[in-house]
Structure 1
Amino acid sequence: MEQTVASPHVLLFPFPGQGNMNSMLNLAEFLCNAGLHITFLNSNHNQQRLLRFTNAQERFSRWPKFRFQTIPDGLPADHPRSAATFFEILDSMKATAKPLFREMMIMASRKESGLWPPLSCFIIDGLMPFAIDVAEELSIRVIVYRAISACCLWTFFCLPGLFAAAELPFQGGDVEDDMDVTIKNVPGMQGFLRRRDLPSFFQTKDPTDPIFQQIGVECQKMTQAYGLIINTFEDLESPVLTQFRSQVPNLYTVGPLHALTLRRQHSSSSMTSNIAVSNSLWDEDRSCITWLDSQPPKSVVYMSFGSLVVYDKDTLMEFWHGLVNSGKLFLWVVRQDSINISGGEGTSFLAEVVDGAKERGSLVVGWAPQEEVLSHPALGVFLTHSGWNSTMEGIYAGVPMICWPFFADQQINSRFVSEVWKVGVALDKCDRWTIERVVKDVMEQKREVLVESIDGLAKLARRCISEGGSSRSNLDRLIQDLRSVRESVYDTSTSTLVG
């Protein structure tokens, strides 16, 4: 019998959203590079789109110990999978994926073939507690991964205190008129956090809203797991992370993950910096890079609201007029599925927007290689929905931000960008006059101050991912912890665990 020490075999299972999958794939690259066996479990829908629009299959084929596997999300192919249907996706994953996931994991934890040892650890997106239940049932170590900010996660843990202090649910007659009331019972955020800055799920008068129960379960699972991975860095969220460690002491802050990936790719002899690397679920229109090449430095407003946001016609037109009236050049990402107009009217309306931008020397595209756009010298400001991946990418690139958050963690991210880190400005209203004024302010009068602040944060981010930096050290610690999970003897002749 031929025996070898089994290499750790880690399952990575992201929630089926663009941001969740993208950042976890960045993590997967590092674990692969450390020589670990990695199974990346994607939804069928996302895997099809990933393989259609990227070179991910080719990139990851460099590691023989990496493989993709898929699982259905239970939704029809034409389901919008947008912010408005977020909880439908959650419910469908729980109903459809849970029994299939359990069956797959029972098989994978007992027996594999060839190079693949049994699973030794799960890294599970915290939005899917059912997958954590399966890991606990199989007595497999589980580490929770969250693709949102630590400041948002900390408010989740503070929910019981907010209820006990009667700060939730919101009290009063017209809640909308009282959204600037200061929140007092989120330790570390007193003095600047307002009702409107809490995660959008909290903004309800109904104390029985099932989302509160869902968040409670997620928090409980985080405290029971072996550890928690967050795509952030110590110098960015240190005060919040100090609070967080009172509940979850074993934190791995490993961000910005996209920057760690870029650094490894650019230093690798097998890849060069001019090879496009993407984990996108949309077809990236690279003509925007050629267009940016012809624009003056710091002259362009880049506007993108991510992969889930859907506009109504009125909102889109307010942004359109605000950008045009500012007199600034703009690069605007408008996904084909992001316009909430029925039938062929949506297509014709988008065509008008595209043509109108072109007439004014600007550009509208369906999707863009965002990391490359943000690092381009022509970029002057990033008008963003304040999704966490976008926020981290904007900080690392050193581009001041204008924030218009939509849902989930985006409200609190926006507040930190504008009031804590002071690297951007939050829109308080979505009308053309406000948008015009803020764009001009950030591109002109406020630019120097904002650039100084964000340059400082960008330098701290680079230090964190450098050798000896906090994120790099935490990643090394994560890899060592994964290697220590199972130092078992593996019989390569029978593909069974024997020790």
Structure 2
Amino acid sequence: MAPGHMIPLVDIARQFARHGVKATIITTPLNASKFSKTIQRDREMGSDISIRTVKFPCKEAGLPEGCENIASTTSTLMYLNFIMGLSLFQNPIEQFLEEDHPDCLIAAPQFSWAVDVATKLEIPTLAFNGSGFFPLCALHSLMEHKPHLNVESEMEEFVIPGLPDTIKMSRQKLSEHLMDEKDTPVTAIVKAIMRAETTSYGVIVNSFYEMEPNYVKHSREVVGRKVWHVGPISLCNEDKSQRGQDSSFCEQKCLDWLDTKEPKSVIYICFGSMAVFSSAQLLEIAIALEASNQQFIWAVTQNTINEEQNEWIPEGFEEKLNVNGRGLIIKGWAPQVLILDHEAIGGFVTHCGWNSLLEGVSAGVPMITWPLSAEQFFNEKLLVEILKIGVPVGSEAWSNRTDSTVPINRKDIERAVTKVMVGQEAEEMRGRAAALGELAKRAVEKGGSSHNSLISLLEQLRNAKITSN
């Protein structure tokens, strides 16, 4: 129950339903409200899809009432309580599975117990990680070979062994949970998630073959998993402005502003729904954007602003933007897919979350990579070194809370913005990104790689049902 998992999972459920499968989404009342209108529209159009809600046991989990999404947690303790609290769903979910006995269960990774419950009831389970093939392969290699234990410092680079490409990483770019050899509550959760993935029927991945062909093959032949690529799932959602939740900004106002700009002349900045930046870091970004002379749209979520609100904005900054039309600041959730798809967008500053990465790829725009946590430093490697459509801003250290790290300075930000937006190298990068965007669109069309993969998955599930009967 986090935006990065919920949004693609809901879209995947909708795709299943469009292919004649009855789909039921299980979530909590507060989370259901974010996409219930979309599901109702699908039902009215003939899809057999529904939502079933289970009350989130906030009090029993040690959380305040209404904290039903990881995006609502504000500390490490709250985050841990939230993850531990997910086990309290086991009994009601098991009761539901016994009553309805579905032909398949797709579970987000934090519900690691779901595989055991479904196995007991002889229901195949598909794991959904919310990430891509490359980061999953890199993580598998790290956990198997542990090269990070053979270096002497946090900054020393090591090669991740066994991958199709030579990929170097340092310990400071890895989650502390990966490096901790001791048994802690968090490492126990990570191990349970990985065990659930390996014991499931297979893995469903929001990616497409043409973007990561070597890693689709590596997943199947080296890691040894059944995998199906069904993405980019965002391209299967027609309602681009309301994807995830209601936009805090009038999309028409945003489009009207973009319509006044030349093609590929605007850079879009957004760090997802979980980032928490210090006012010092936001100030560095603002000054860099002003110095770059590039036009921009900057989505600053409430989590990003934190309690400091507008203290980070340089004096007269917004007034100058309004006068010369150089920039637009969106405070809150932005219609990201709608923005990225506009022809005026020429680059994207991203935290390298998998959903944002795919949305950038699908829109055919090069990216400035600013990884923060989760698997985002792996995703940066994919964009910069393998696909060659990314420019790193210089983020060097993994951190759950980015307001506790040393700010990346304005010169590095300005350099990266200029490199993506101006010059021959920018043009070449933009060409590669555009070509990849076309491949993404073809992948989800009838006869495309992801469309065929989904059809193959449904056929295998139907055959598995016939065999079990």
Give the stretch that moved more between structures: 74-83 or 123-132.
74-83
Q: What's the TM-score once normalised by structure 1's chain length? A: 0.80
Deviation of 1:48 (Å)? 2.9
1:168 is the counterpart of 2:149: yes
Q: Is the 8 A contact 1:18 1:281 kept in 2?
A: no
- Counterpart in the other structure of 2:230: 254
Q: Is the 8 A contact 1:55 1:277 kept in 2?
A: no
**Partner secondary structure for residue 371 of structure 2:** coil
For 1:434, the aligned partner's letter is D
Residue 21 of structure 2: which of 36, 53, 67 is its match?
36
Residue 97 of structure 2: which of 109, 122, 125 is its match?
109
The 1:403/1:124 distance shift into structure 2, 3 A limit, reads same
> In 2, Cα distance between the equivalents of 1:60 and 1:199?
43
- Counterpart in the other structure of 2:403: none
1:434 is the counterpart of 2:400: no
Deviation of 1:127 (Å)? 2.6
- Counterpart in the other structure of 2:273: 307
- Counterpart in the other structure of 1:126: 109
Residue 384 of structure 2: which of 409, 413, 418 is its match?
418
1:443 is the counterpart of 2:421: yes
Residue 279 of structure 1: which of 239, 243, 246 is its match?
243
The 1:170/1:145 distance shift into structure 2, 3 A limit, reads same
Q: 5 Å matches for 1:43-442? A: 43-51=28-36, 55-63=38-46, 65-73=48-56, 74=58, 75-77=63-65, 79=67, 81-82=70-71, 85=75, 88-89=78-79, 91-95=81-85, 97-106=86-95, 108-111=96-99, 118-163=101-146, 165=147, 167-168=148-149, 171-172=152-153, 175=154, 178=155, 181-188=156-163, 191-195=166-170, 198-201=173-176, 204=179, 207-208=182-183, 210-245=185-220, 246-259=222-235, 261-262=236-237, 265=238, 278-285=242-249, 286=251, 287-341=253-307, 345-346=308-309, 354-355=318-319, 357-361=321-325, 362-365=327-330, 366-428=332-394, 430-442=408-420
Structure 1, unaligned stretches of length 5 or more? 1-15, 113-117, 266-274, 489-498
Q: Please provide the CA RMSD for this pair.
A: 2.9
Q: Is the 8 A contact 1:395 1:454 kept in 2?
A: yes
Deviation of 1:216 (Å)? 2.7
Q: What's the TM-score once normalised by structure 2's chain length? A: 0.85
**Partner secondary structure for residue 356 of structure 2:** helix
The 1:311/1:189 distance shift into structure 2, 3 A limit, reads farther
The 1:133/1:40 distance shift into structure 2, 3 A limit, reads same
Q: Is the 8 A contact 2:164 2:214 kept in 1?
A: no
Deviation of 1:249 (Å)? 3.1
Cα deviations across residues 150-200 of structure 1 (Å, max 9, x unaligned)?
22212332234343x5x238633xx2xx2xx33234321663322168543
**Partner secondary structure for residue 183 of structure 1:** strand
The 1:71/1:110 distance shift into structure 2, 3 A limit, reads closer
The 1:483/1:239 distance shift into structure 2, 3 A limit, reads same
Deviation of 1:223 (Å)? 1.8
For 1:131, the aligned partner's letter is A
> In 1, Cα distance between the equivalents of 2:124 and 2:452?
21
Displacement over 6 Å in runs of 4+: 350-353
The 1:102/1:44 distance shift into structure 2, 3 A limit, reads same
**Partner secondary structure for residue 455 of structure 2:** helix
The 1:323/1:148 distance shift into structure 2, 3 A limit, reads same
- Aligned length in residues: 443
**Partner secondary structure for residue 40 of structure 1:** strand
The 1:354/1:125 distance shift into structure 2, 3 A limit, reads farther
Deviation of 1:292 (Å)? 0.8
1 or 2 for the larger relative contact order (CA 8 Å, sep ≥6)? 1
Aligned sequence identity (%) = 26
The 1:159/1:71 distance shift into structure 2, 3 A limit, reads farther
Give the stretch that moved more between structures: 194-203 or 25-34.
194-203
- Counterpart in the other structure of 1:480: 459
Q: Is the 8 A contact 1:169 1:203 kept in 2?
A: no
Between Structure 1 and Structure 2, whose CA radius of gyration is higher?
A: 1
Q: Is the 8 A contact 1:385 1:406 kept in 2?
A: yes
> In 1, Cα distance between the equivalents of 2:414 and 2:322?
19
The 1:303/1:238 distance shift into structure 2, 3 A limit, reads same
Structure 2, unaligned stretches of length 5 or more? 396-407
Deviation of 1:281 (Å)? 2.9
The 1:484/1:161 distance shift into structure 2, 3 A limit, reads closer
Deviation of 1:86 (Å)? 7.0
For 1:442, the aligned partner's letter is V
> In 2, Cα distance between the equivalents of 1:196 and 1:450?
29
Deviation of 1:284 (Å)? 4.3
> In 1, Cα distance between the equivalents of 2:449 and 2:412?
39
